């Protein structure tokens, strides 16, 4: 299974606030840096191990379980779905 943004959801960078924002029909979320890094890799093609490996190239000590936990919270918020 591969995570992807739900239909109508878009991750963008707000230059005024200098942070990522997640736009969706019901509102706006301002994900923390960790969640934004995960969201950038949710393309419907990468698996959780792929995402963890890609993040591991940029950050130290990235664990698949942690990536899975972030994704589970985003799925609960209905901004990410499993493909």
Task: Write a three-state SS string for the chain.
Answer: CCEEECCCCEEEEECCCCEEEEEECCEEECCCHHHHHHHHCCECCCCHHHHHHHHHHHCCCCCHHHHHHHHHHHHHCCCEEEC
- Looking up residue 39, the CATH number of its domain turns out to be 1.10.10.1150
Token output for 56? 């591991």
Whole-number pLDDT of residue 28: 95
pTM: 0.93
| Residue 83 placed within a domain | no
- The domain tally of the chain equals 1
Per residue in 17-43, pLDDT (tens digit) is: 999 999 999 899 999 999 999 999 999
The residue segments making up the domain with residue 68 are 3-78
């Amino acid at each position: 299974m591969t995570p992807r943004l739900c239909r109508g959801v878009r991750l963008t960078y707000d230059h005024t606030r200098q942070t990522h924002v997640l736009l969706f029909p019901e509102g706006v979320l301002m994900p923390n840096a960790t969640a934004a890094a995960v969201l950038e890799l949710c393309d419907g093609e990468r698996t959780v191990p792929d995402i963890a490996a890609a993040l591991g190239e940029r950050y130290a000590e990235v664990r698949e379980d942690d990536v899975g936990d972030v994704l589970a919270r985003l799925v609960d918020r209905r901004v990410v779905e499993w493909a």
